[in-house]
Amino acid sequence: MIEQPSISKETEQTSIELLLPRKETLKPNGPNSTFAEAPFQSGEFAEQELQTKLLVANEIIRQAIQIDYFPDSAAEANLAGDCFTSAKYLAEYLEKLGVSGKTYLVSVRRNPFNGEQRKSTRHVVVLHELNGVFRTVDPTAMVGYGYGSVSCECTFKDGVLTSLGEEHPIYEHVELLTNKDKETIEKINRLRREYYTNGKVDIEMSDQLRREVEASVWGDYMSSWVSEIYYVLAMTCLSQGEVGKYQELSAKVVDLDPFKPKVAEVPETQEVTKEKVRVAMEAYTNEVLEITRKWQKDVRKIWSEGDQTKYHDALEKMQWIFRELKSVGHISDPIPTFNLNNKLVAVYNLNPRALHEAHLTAAWIKPNSNRMGVWAAAHEAIRQVGPIVAEYEFNSGISGDYGETPIYFTHPHALKPENRRAYTGLSTIMLINADPEEVDLAKKKFRDEWGRIISQKSGLSIPWFDGTSLRWNRFVTNYIHSADNAAESVVHFTLAYPHLSLVNRWSYPHPNL
């Protein structure tokens, strides 16, 4: 990826009204759209089935939120935050859209395949209920197990969801958050923000929060959240040279949540505490390896059989596999990042709002530009529209690690054999500091001018990279592609990284971004 030059369009904030569109502005996707197979393909939003309404609303939140791992009230007011923030906004947005049913904020065990050592995680989703039927809805704007999901229909009793059909629930262990729990989470997030911003916290004030939480009644499902209070206190004490106090507090951290490798890495941590972490992480790693082997087998089977109806399931599991193996250190490759307004952003944190506010649009220089000798002219035409802030080359027509073909994830029409062949060759993938309409004009102008000069017309053949010929198709072999909106820009800029892309062609695209 190239370094970011000075940009011509500055980042702008999007209003909450645009980020959370009214139901009247939610429209179905057209049959020729990148998102033609996404939920909501015809009719009005109000007429859709409940599952579709939940999926659409969930995608709106995921694509509109700014990731902030420890938000305060000011961040949340601007729709920036973590899973807790996302869940709160989703519950409010479902009500705004007039979606029937009740919503609850719930704590879930993020990885339901974990052993009993994991009593809780810091993960909050929405539990939706209508006429005694429950679903979890997870608007977390990240890539991994459960994120972005709407579960199957379930019954709910004693903190456990049980499927009403053959499909397994995404999360089985669910606990309703009380108002006190929610208040505690907000206070802990403020404490974490202070620590990760300043490297320390006010010991007296933080200890007051610890005493306040200890005096209240809370269930095991809050233990991972509460462990963060002790962690912040422990690290602050260590920074002040209070090793004994650190050791006492870090032991409490691990008692509440043993899945804390960052504690075990601190030299001053007591050996007995480190051992608790090692035992928990070893059990977790073994479980991750077991479940990911199953997922890998499922994915390879889908691709080997070529069942297009299951390609979305395959992509979903590819994302789960990467996330879980990365979490236990079995993938050491660095996460691809790019420079967005002088801030390095991981590919999996790239969402439509980020691109829309930064005036960034994805474009490709297609393989046929190389074959026809016009790559340099195409690149210059794009560069004239605005600064190219990120760029890489990728052959999207070749198979990946599981037998997948990346171009299939970009558009339903890419499934046609001749279209796949058209992308077997190097494409140049770019982000341009310009709005979609500006890039579109430059693209069309270039196609028109160079199409006449080369005198290629639909139906004629050109020599191709594999030694055979390829029929010219004005919809495919047309030099340059550019995205129509920010959601499509995310899908198409992450062409080489579908397992890390927050948005895919089965997502409902945010209409205002």
Question: Cβ distance 498 to 484 under 8 Å?
Answer: no
CA 121 from chain centre, in angstroms, equals 18
Q: Identify whether the C-beta of residue 5 lies closer than 8 Å to the C-beta of residue 386.
A: no
DSSP assignments along 323-352, one per residue: HHHHHTTS--SPPPEEEETTEEEEGGG--H
Please indicate, yes or no, whether the overall pTM of this predicted structure exceeds 0.85: yes
Helix (H, G, I), strand (E, B) or coil at 394: strand
Tokens of 460: 């004629």
pLDDT tens digits in sequence order for the chain, 513 residues long: 434 444 556 566 678 888 999 999 999 998 889 999 999 999 999 999 999 999 999 999 999 999 898 898 999 999 999 999 999 999 999 999 999 999 999 999 866 666 666 666 788 999 999 999 999 999 999 999 999 999 999 999 999 999 999 899 999 989 999 999 999 999 999 999 999 888 888 888 888 888 888 878 677 888 889 999 999 999 999 999 999 999 999 999 999 999 899 999 999 999 999 999 999 999 889 999 999 999 999 999 999 998 999 999 999 999 999 999 998 889 888 888 887 767 788 999 999 999 999 999 999 999 999 888 899 999 999 999 999 999 999 988 777 888 888 889 999 988 888 888 888 889 999 999 999 999 999 999 999 888 877 766 667 888 888 888 888 887 788 899 999 999 999 999 999 999 999 999 999 999 999
Name the nearest CA neighbour of 507 among 496, 491, 483, 494. 491
Per-residue b/e over 324-348, b at no fewer than 16 CB within 10 Å? bbbbbeeeeeeebbbbbeeeebebb
Nearest by Cα to 465 from 367, 361, 318, 337: 367
Domains of the chain and CATH, by start: 15-110+120-176 (3.10.620), 179-259 (1.25.40), 338-500 (3.30.70.141)
Question: How many residues would you count in the chain?
Answer: 513
Distance of CA 108 to the CA centre of its chain: 18
- Taking the CA atoms of 465, 468, 472 and 473 in sequence, report the sign of the dihedral they define: negative
Q: CA 450 to CA 452: how far, in whole Å?
A: 5
**Pick from 225, 230, 229: nearest CA to 248:** 230
Residue 73, CA atoms < 13 Å, CB-side half-sphere: 3
Spatial distance between the Cα atoms of 85 and 82, rounded to a whole number of angstroms = 5
Single-letter residue type at 94: L
